[in-house]
Amino acid sequence: MTTMSRILAAGLTTGMAIAAAWGAPQPGETPQTSATRPGDEAMTCEQIAAELVPYLQLVAPNAQAIVVSQQREFEHAQAKRAERQPVHELLAAMATATTFDPTGASKRAYAAAEMAQMAKERGEDAAEAASPEAQKSKAQREQMAAQAQAMQGDVRLQRLLQLGQQKGCDRKR
């Protein structure tokens, strides 16, 4: 796959994701005629890709920032899961042990331990959601959504995406 084909595929994928996220034009909106230019129908996939490059350059910094944040969040979630796993295994063993206790004391101890662990995890999760890192990640996603919404209204971009899709430029070669 050539570099231009990869750029076009990425552009079409990004554009289609933006279009899917924000839907079709609202009722009453009419497409501007400036979206279509002479020679559009004769454009090759490489020419369409070349015209999409500036749009990709606009979204690339935000998209890269989001990918980095999501990777960091994923790694943190994996570490948190690994940290909590031994406690969950102990609670599972306690739950099994309750079946052998005719007095019900172990069942009460298990229920109390389970509720305490759940409260602890909820508190940790709430603190994490309010952390500066989580707020930064949320702001990045909101900024990307606003950028996508603005690009949804760009009639030339929509025309290029439509042409690329009609010509099958979004398929791997």
pLDDT by residue for the chain (173 residues), tens digit each? 454 445 545 555 555 554 444 444 433 333 444 688 888 889 999 999 999 999 999 999 999 999 999 999 999 999 999 999 999 999 999 999 999 999 999 999 999 999 999 999 999 999 999 999 999 999 999 999 999 888 888 899 999 999 999 989 988 55
Domain range list for the chain: 3-166
Q: Residue 75 in contact with residue 30, Cβ under 8 Å?
A: no
- Give the model's pLDDT for residue 108: 95
The Cα–Cα gap between 52 and 8 comes to 7
- Give the model's pLDDT for residue 11: 53
DSSP secondary-structure letter at 31?
-
Q: Residue 42 in contact with residue 163, Cβ under 8 Å?
A: no
Q: What are phi and psi of 17, to 5 degrees?
A: -65, -40
- Give the model's pLDDT for residue 171: 81
Q: What is the pTM of this model?
A: 0.62
- Give the model's pLDDT for residue 20: 46
Total H helices, total E strands in the chain: 5, 0
- Give the model's pLDDT for residue 153: 86
Which residue, chain included where needed, has tokens 């999409």?
52
CA-wise closest residue to 118 among 76, 87, 86, 82: 87
The Cα–Cα gap between 56 and 65 comes to 14
